[in-house]
Amino acid sequence: MAKKKVRGVRGLYVDDSENIGFEEWSLEAQEKLNDSIMRMLKEGMALATKEYEVLALLGGLDSGHLNIEVSLPIGPAEFSSPAWVFSLTEIVDYFIDANGFFPPTEMESIQAAQLIRDHLHDLADRIDAALPVEKRRPRHG
């Protein structure tokens, strides 16, 4: 008698379903893989920042936000660079949100806020000094 061929059913992964919880299984191989990946990234970034110039520019001026754009020439081709964009406005907002409204009892937060404010004022003064006189901001007393 011939064996009947059993046909399987192919399932499809549901993209918006939950992830598989490998962390809950405490798999030793997963931990070793994660450690290896982190060591590789750390080593690669250390080499890349020693051998190549990290480029950081100000940008996003047309968006109403001042961005800090960072690129590192570690892409797969000679002139390809992964890039990161950080909004200076969002960084400052995050700092303020994380520290509240600086109550008088929080001296460390107040001093940090003052240092940031003073550095930003110093940078603004340097930019202003580089502009033609007629384009500089009027001084407030």
The Cα diameter of the chain in Å comes to 102
pLDDT tens-digit map of 98-138: 876 667 677 888 888 899 999 999 999 999 999 999 999 88
Prediction pTM value: 0.56
Check pLDDT > 60 for residue 14.
yes
Q: What angle do CA 25, 29, 35 make, to 5 degrees?
A: 110
Show me where the domains of the chain are located: 51-87, 100-141
pLDDT tens-digit map of 72-93: 877 787 777 888 888 888 888 8
pLDDT band with cut points at 50, 70 and 90 for residue 17: confident
Instruction: Give the CA count within 13 Å in the CB-facing half-sphere of 100.
Output: 9
**Displacement of CA 73 from its chain's centroid (Å):** 16
